[in-house]
A and B are shown apart, each in its own frame.
Chain A
Amino acid sequence: MTSRLADLRPVHVVGIGLHPYQRMSATPYVTLGLRAVREALTDAGLEWKTVESAYTATALLGIAASRPMLRHLGATGIPMAHVENASASGSTAFRQAVHEVAAGFTDVSLAIGVDKPGLPGGAPGRTGLGDLVGNRSAPAAWFAMQAADYMSRTGTPVEALGRVAVKNSRNGARNPYAQRRKARTLEEVLAPPFIAGPFTRHQCCPVGEGAAAVLVASDDGIRRHALDRSRAIRVLSSTSRSETLADPADDADTLLTRQTVEQTYEEASIGPEDLDVVEIHDAFSIEELMYAEALGLCAPGEAGQAITSGALDIGGRTALSASGGLLAMGHPIGPTGLGQIAEITRQLRGEAESRQQPDARIGLAHMVGLGSVCLIHVLQRP
């Protein structure tokens, strides 16, 4: 017999912390990670010695990153493990921590994402199976191809792609943790140089460095450590899938998100109309349109219009990428999924200040990872 998250012990996000995402620097990853964890501990009102397990999400650091970082908080002997799932590493570490608390193995667990860019490509290029493109392949290329197909199929103009980046730059400018903190005009976003197909620089996310930490706890953990229950955000669902075989003419990425979110809505007993805030994997501008439709936030082919109308702005019916998304907040890989959870938590607590979505009650975080995998989490305020 299998269980869903809803069948197990309730799990709550009780602490969040980040090191701002930034361009590659000489800052050691330990400095990045410790700042995020200490901020999360302070946010929760917890001491490190109360944390019973830790999952470190990193895709680029290499082996044995956890203890050399976390020992600086005190060598408490807790179990530590690494999680690597490409762009979805942070989301997967969060899922592991949530499952551990839900199953009753721990009452307080940590998921910490930390990364620094600049290392060469990963395992998909070392399977022993060759291809015809070699090192010319890059995510921007394939998403640019999908952008061309999407625009041709739906009649969406290139300006709609640009408006995604305009909206997210506006949100990122209000996020002190964002790597890009300048609001851009449509003219700026659409200006050359081009990277791939219709994508300009501002339609491609910056891959920098940073860290994001999330502490999760059970009801017992909240009681035992006298945490502030009014700021604890319930994790309603955690769903994860990998790509299946698709017809060559179909868009496998959108299909994967659609399949995953069907499971999400069933597990969380909600629908897209219930979502107040959504963080989405917008590594490239086209992805926000594709996935907004796959999540059911708007009808197929209408995401561009929804962005243009302001329906997906802060203050609209659903605030999409209120953090600035990957396009403006940045995409340091390991931390990204946890940064989304931190943003949703902040929004649901009503603590997002100038980028607060009014009366936000339910939020969804969506990530995809190279391979491909998809993870979706739904959070709800008490």
Chain B
Amino acid sequence: MYGCEACGAHGDALRDVTLPAEGVLLGVVTIRHHMGKALDEPFVLARVLLEPGLAVRAVLTAVDHEPPVGTRVVGTLIDEGGGDAELRFRPESS
């Protein structure tokens, strides 16, 4: 059903790829006021450049301030009790 954004290939032409949950920060922002309900503010969002050159948006955890762009981050599974663990990122050094 879903297709490739670069060339439009779909179906059997696509294959699953496992991406490493590690990369570097392209951007980071602290959200202090959000329209969404049931969110603990503030929280930190980031754009993470994964090793194959793909950027993803993610929640940054285990930080008490915004780390600089270029900081190496790794994925970590967080289960806040809802049953489904969520993939977030944290600085590699934390």
Which residues of chain A have a CB within 8 Å of any CB of chain B?
129, 131-133, 135-138, 140-142, 144-146, 148-149, 152, 193-197, 245, 248-249
Given A133-B45, A137-B57, A197 and B30 touching (CB < 8 A)?
yes
A-B contact count (CB 8 A): 73
**Measured CA separation A146–B87 after assembly (Å):** 23
The 9 closest A-B pairs by CB, nearest first: A248-B55, A145-B27, A132-B58, A197-B29, A145-B29, A135-B36, A144-B29, A194-B32, A195-B33
Distance of B37 from chain A, by nearest CB (Å):
8
Distance of A357 from chain B, by nearest CB (Å):
35
Determine which of B30, B39, B54, B88 lies in contact with A196 in the assembled complex, contact meaning CB atoms within 8 Å: B30
**Measured CA separation A137–B36 after assembly (Å):** 9
**Measured CA separation A79–B56 after assembly (Å):** 43
Closest chain B residue to A192, Cβ basis:
B32
**Measured CA separation A193–B27 after assembly (Å):** 22
Chain A residues near B20: list those with CB within 8 A: none
**Measured CA separation A134–B54 after assembly (Å):** 19
Which residues of chain B have a CB within 8 Å of any CB of chain A?
2, 5-6, 26-36, 39, 43, 45, 47, 49, 53-59, 69, 86-88
Q: Is the CB of A193 within 8 A of B33?
A: yes
Q: Is the CB of B58 within 8 A of A133?
A: yes
A-B contacts, 13 of them at CB < 8 A, read A133-B45, A133-B58, A135-B39, A137-B45, A137-B57, A138-B36, A145-B45, A193-B32, A193-B33, A245-B6, A248-B26, A248-B53, A249-B26
Query: Known contacts A138-B34, A141-B31, A193-B33; can you find 16 more A-B pairs with CB under 8 A?
Result: A131-B57, A132-B58, A132-B87, A133-B45, A136-B45, A137-B45, A137-B57, A140-B31, A141-B29, A145-B45, A149-B69, A152-B69, A193-B32, A194-B30, A248-B47, A248-B54
Q: Is the CB of A133 within 8 A of B59?
A: yes
Determine which of B2, B28, B35 lies in contact with A129 in the assembled complex, contact meaning CB atoms within 8 Å: B2
Closest chain A residue to B87, Cβ basis:
A132
**Measured CA separation A181–B6 after assembly (Å):** 45
**Measured CA separation A137–B58 after assembly (Å):** 9
Q: Is the CB of B88 within 8 A of A132?
A: yes
Determine which of B6, B49, B57 lies in contact with A132 in the assembled complex, contact meaning CB atoms within 8 Å: B57
Determine which of B32, B59, B69 lies in contact with A136 in the assembled complex, contact meaning CB atoms within 8 Å: B59
**Measured CA separation A195–B33 after assembly (Å):** 5
Chain B residues near A136: list those with CB within 8 A: 31, 34, 36, 39, 43, 45, 59
